[in-house]
Amino acid sequence: MIRFDKVKKSFGPKEVLKGISFSVKKGEILFILGTSGTGKSVLLKNLVGLLRPTSGEIWIDGQEVSHLTEEEYLPVRRRCGMVFQHPALFDSLSVYENVAFGLRRHFSDLKESQIREKVMESLNLVHLNGIESKRPQEISYGMQKRVSLARTLAVGPEVLLFDEPTTGLDPITTNAINQLIQELSHKLQTTSIVVSHDMHCALDIADRVIVLDQGHIVEEGDVEHLKQSSHPLVRDFLQEALSAERA
C-alpha cells in the first residue's frame, strides 16, 4: 500500500503541493486529475524519488521512503515503474536495447537469453512485435509510448505510475492505451496511479479518482461519487468528458 502523509513540495518561494494526504490500495487503479500546473507530475516524481518532498512522509508497504538516499531508492524504483509524459526513449539505442536497459541495470546477473525473453514478453504485452531492431525515431509517437511502457514493464514493477499517458495521442491510440492500462492492471495484478486531465478516460477505467487543484485535493472517491460532486472544477471536467463522449 502507498500512503502520502501531509506532503508539501516547494520550488523556491512557490509551493506546488500544499500538504497532500491520500492512500492507494494494492491492485487499485487510481486517477489523479487536475489542470496543468497543479502538481500532478510532481506528486508522482516524489514517489519515485526524482524529487524529494519539502515536508511530509511517503510510505510504501510500511517503509518511509522520502528520506532514502539515491542508492537506497533503487529497490523502490524497481518496484515502482514510471511511464513518463514523453516516451523518453534513448535515441541512440534500438527498441530492443531500450526495453533491455532497465533489466541490465536492475538485474545485472541475468543472462542474455533471459533478457531477450523478458524483452519479447514485455513487447508482446503492449501488442508490439517485430520492431525490436528499429530505432525510436523510426516508429510512430503512439508506438514510442507503448515501447516506453514495455521498458517499464520489463523490470516487473508492482506499481505502475503513468504521467499523462495519452497526451499528444489521437483518440484511437488514446483508447488503446487506456485499455492497455486496465488490461495490465488485471493481468499483472499491479497497482496503477495515473496522472491525467482526461476525465473521460478516468470514468472508463478508474477504481478511484483524486482531483487536485492549486496543490490541494478538492475531491476524492470512486467514479459514482465523482459524478455527484458539486465542486466547480469537477463539474467542468465532467462537462468536458460528456461533450467528448457526444462528439
Partner 1 sequence: MLRGLRGIVEDIGGGVVFMGQVLSVALFKPCSFRSISEQIVKVTEQSWLTTAVAGFFVGAIMTVQFSLQIQQFGALGYLGGLATSGTIREVGPLLIAFMLSGKVGAFTSAELGTMRVTEQIDAIRCLGANPIQEIILPRWLGIVCSSFFLLAVGLMMSIGGGLLMGMFFSGISMQEYVRHIPTIVTSFSILSGLFKCLVFAMVLASICTYKGYTATGGARGVGRAVVNTAVATMVAIVIADWVTSVFSDVALRIVLGD
CB of 53 to partner 1, least distance (A): 17
- List phi, psi (to 5°) of 197: -120, 20
Given a contact cutoff of 8 angstroms between Cβ atoms, the answer to whether 210 and 193 are in contact is no
9/40 Cα distance (integer angstroms): 12
CB of 12 to partner 1, least distance (A): 12
- CB under 8 A: which stretch of 31-39, 69-77, 196-204, 233-241 binds partner 1? 69-77
235/237 Cα distance (integer angstroms): 5
> Looking at beta carbons only, is 34 or 136 nearer to partner 1?
136
Which of 116-143 are b and which e, b meaning 16 or more Cβ less than 10 Å from the residue's Cβ? Answer: eebbbebbebbebeebbeebbeebeebb
- What single DSSP character describes residue 51? S
- CB under 8 A: which stretch of 13-21, 87-95, 116-124, 172-180 binds partner 1? 87-95
Our finding on whether 79 is near partner 1 (CB under 8 A) is no
Our finding on whether 85 is near partner 1 (CB under 8 A) is yes
CB of 142 to partner 1, least distance (A): 16
- 125 grid coordinates: 504485452
- CB under 8 A: which stretch of 86-94, 122-130, 210-218, 236-244 binds partner 1? 86-94
Q: Which residues of this protein are in contact with partner 1, per CB under 8 A?
A: 45, 48-50, 70, 74, 77-78, 81-82, 84-86, 88-90, 101-102, 105-106, 148, 151-152, 155
